[in-house]
Structure 1
Amino acid sequence: MIRRRSSSSTADDTLVKVPVPGASEEVPDGGRAGGKGRPTPKRAEAEKQRRQAVRPPKDRKEAVRLQRERARQERQQRVEALRRGDERALPARDKGPVRRFVRDWVDSRWNLAELFLPVAVVVVVLSFVPVTAIQAASIYVMFLMFIGIILDAFITSVRLRRILPERFPDEQRKGAVAYAVLRALQLRRLRLPAPQVQRGTKV
């Protein structure tokens, strides 16, 4: 009697893995369990923002809102770049080595002109005091302040007209002196681009 071998004998060579509840699943080298095919949280957030950016607005009202939001973000980025003094984000009037030198030169010294706004506020307040002597004194202080600002601006102009040709003989220097005078009139902490040097620094 001849016994026939089962045709399924070739299938014995192949093992089929059946998942067993509670058993740990093998993870290939370099991979993470439960993480295969899933984006990391940062990537998921980036994808979400990208989809929101390209998603077309539903109506005109939403389009206006999105446009205002983009404009607000762009303004914020420009202000931050100005505070950092990033040359790539500076407007045309602030770009170039001459303007950078002028900013550093003004920021490195004490300027009488930057006291103009605080003194002006004090004078305006004192002008409402119903005392003739105080009102007269405030006007006198304001007059002296104007004289001091004019002298300070004159000294700034003379010194820069002498320094700039020596430092930048081949650069465009037009408007640099006026740029320095206007910057000197601003309070130091309100200047944009923000000061990059400390007072007293040799420029």
Structure 2
Amino acid sequence: MFRRRNDTDTTVAGSPAAPADGSTVITTGKGRPTPTRREAEAAAKARAKAPRTRKEQAAAKRRVRADEAQKVRTAMKTGDERHLLPRDKGPVRRFVRDYVDHRFSFLEIVLPLVLVTTVLTYSGNPGLVRIGSTVMVAVLALIVMDVLTLRFRLRRELAKRFEGESVKGTTWYAVSRSMQMRFMRLPKSQVKIGEKLPERYR
């Protein structure tokens, strides 16, 4: 009635069956393979590198922010799309920058002219004051004409190259870039004045 236990019968209910090919699997208490020495050392190094205290965590965050800032600064010089600021990303914004940079704009010389006219206006010499006022009026007229021309031609090019895409904010983006002297523009100019622009920006 009772089956005698066989010494060779080592299978216990609930325990994993031995592989059919006779190989041995070493398992931990939770049924997972025992990690190799290399894996254990790698895990130990990872735990050692991980910041533990609040001071270490703050230092790690500062390093990450510094790395990101360095990537942005480099992208501002090279035009690398991956690390540009959100306002500068995308083919539309890249085309706007190239379009502004490939043309000469009176807006580029606004600041020098304003400084000159300011000096003339406050010189106290009536003749120089009249000259300064005349120059200022001429500068304002040129600015208005340049902005209107820029907006009209830019919108036409955007409609041709990016049909159906949103061009919201591109006029102000272009005008604000045009008002900066060329060497101060960020991201840095990637084209020269008069250079022919690519047909596709995708």
The residue identity in structure 2 corresponding to 1:90 is L
> Which of the numbers 100, 108, 113 marks the counterpart of 2:102?
108
Instruction: Sort the Cα spacing of 1:55 and 1:198 in 2 relative to 1 into closer, same or farther, 3 A.
Output: farther
In the other structure, the counterpart of 1:186 is 180
CA deviation profile, 1:79-107 (whole Å, cap 9, x unmatched): 33212111112222211111101110110
> Which of the numbers 110, 120, 129 marks the counterpart of 2:123?
129
Aligned length: 149
Q: Aligned-pair distance for 1:73?
A: 6.4
In the other structure, the counterpart of 1:148 is 142
* Partner Cα separation in structure 1 for residue 125 and residue 66 of structure 2: 47
Q: Aligned-pair distance for 1:78?
A: 2.2
What TM-score do you get using the length of structure 1 for normalisation? 0.63
CA deviation profile, 1:21-42 (whole Å, cap 9, x unmatched): xxxxxxxxxxxxxxxxxxxxxx
* Partner Cα separation in structure 2 for residue 71 and residue 121 of structure 1: 38
2:51 and 2:60 in contact (8 A); partners too: no
* Partner Cα separation in structure 1 for residue 185 and residue 142 of structure 2: 21
1:84 aligns with 2:78: yes
In the other structure, the counterpart of 1:42 is none
* Partner Cα separation in structure 2 for residue 102 and residue 197 of structure 1: 12
> Mind listing any 5+ residue stretches in structure 1 that lack a counterpart?
1-50
CA deviation profile, 1:127-170 (whole Å, cap 9, x unmatched): 33221111221121011101101001101111112111111113
CA RMSD across the alignment: 2.8
What TM-score do you get using the length of structure 2 for normalisation? 0.63
2:76 and 2:187 in contact (8 A); partners too: yes
Q: Aligned-pair distance for 1:76?
A: 4.7
